[in-house]
Structure formats: C-alpha cells, structure tokens
Amino acid sequence: MSKKELNAYEDFEAFYERHWKYVFRLCFTYMNNIADAEDCAQDVFVKVLKNHYQFKDNMHERKWLTITSMNLCINKLNSYYHRNIVSVEDDGIPELVTPETTDYSDVLEAVIHLPPKLKEVIWLYYYEGYSTKEIAVLLNRPPSTIRNQMRDARNLLKTVLEER
C-alpha cells in the first residue's frame, strides 16, 4: 500500500469514526430496525468511499451526510423489496439520545413513526437545529412548504401523544 493510499485510508477511517453514530441514528429513525439502519448507514459510507467526496468544511460534511442518509432510507422504504418484507423480530429502539432526567422516548417514538416528509423536517429542525430557511435549501422546497409540513407534523404529533 502506497503512502498516499494509506493516508486516504486513515482519513476515511477518521471520517467514519466521527460520523458513524450520527448516520446510524438518523437511518434508524427511518428504518425502525437495527439491521436496515446499519445497511443504510453502511451504504452512505460506501458512497463516500467509492466517489472520493471532498467536503468544504464540517457543516458541508454534516449536511451531505444528513441528506444522503435520508434519501437512501426513503429509497429503501419505497423499494418493492422492502415494502413486501414482514419483520419477524422487534429490535426495539436503541438509545438514540443521551439519558436525561426527563424521559422523551414517547416523543422520539412518535417522531420515528411520522411519514417520511414530515419526519425529515421535524428531525432537521429539532434534532439537528436547522432553521426552516436552511431546511428549505437542504430539501429543495419552498420555505412555506417547510413551515406547512412542520405545522402538520406538530399537529399529528400532538394527536398521537395525547392518545397515549
């Protein structure tokens, strides 16, 4: 292995270690089981490795990982193969957030079960800290659409959580 190849490998390894947990957690919110989330997260990193992506800065890196992870998960959920599989085991929800004094697991579970278009705006806004304008740019949608989806998602979450 040449010195250049070794440096590229070490750079990718550091990139992987830095982002694996984040990508896996995001994929899990879409896939709802550990095995599919791991597959999707792995696909994200394979894409980076195969295409030798270069990122401008940490923010660009994080945005690319977020959008790519969401898109890969949505594509897998929409695929014929995935729609026709019945899950036999319930993997449960792995620890997705740091334990705090208040238990928000019911909120997270409700967010995980939102339709994909509503889930992505809620995830980006509340869990990633993006503004509605930034989300509109990331998802290539008008800001008014993002605000409407946020409203719809909040209403749906409110209804679901009140039923519990």
Is residue 148 within 8 A of residue 59, CB to CB? The reply is no
Q: For residue 77, give the CATH number of its domain.
A: 1.10.1740
Could you tell me the residue range of the domain that residue 42 belongs to?
1-87
Please compute the mean of the pLDDT values over residues 2-13 and round it to a whole number.
61
Please compute the mean of the pLDDT values over residues 127-146 and round it to a whole number.
89
What is the full DSSP assignment across the chain?
--HHHHHHHHHHHHHHHHHHHHHHHHHHHHH-SHHHHHHHHHHHHHHHHHHT---SSHHHHHHHHHHHHHHHHHHHHHSHHHHT----S-------S---SS--HHHHHHHHTS-HHHHHHHIIIIIS---HHHHHHHHT--HHHHHHHHHHHHHHHHHHHHH-
Say yes or no: 66 and 119 in one domain: no
**Over the stretch 123-134, which tens digit does the pLDDT of each residue have?**
888 888 888 998
**Over the stretch 33-88, which tens digit does the pLDDT of each residue have?**
889 999 999 999 999 888 877 888 888 888 899 999 998 998 888 775 555 554 44
Tally of domains in the chain: 2
At residue 149 the predicted structure's pLDDT band, cuts being 50, 70 and 90, is: very high
Q: pTM for this structure?
A: 0.64
Say yes or no: 66 and 7 in one domain: yes
Say yes or no: 63 and 105 in one domain: no
Say yes or no: 115 and 164 in one domain: yes
Tell me, yes or no, whether 34 lies in a domain.
yes
Say yes or no: 67 and 146 in one domain: no
Say yes or no: 59 and 1 in one domain: yes
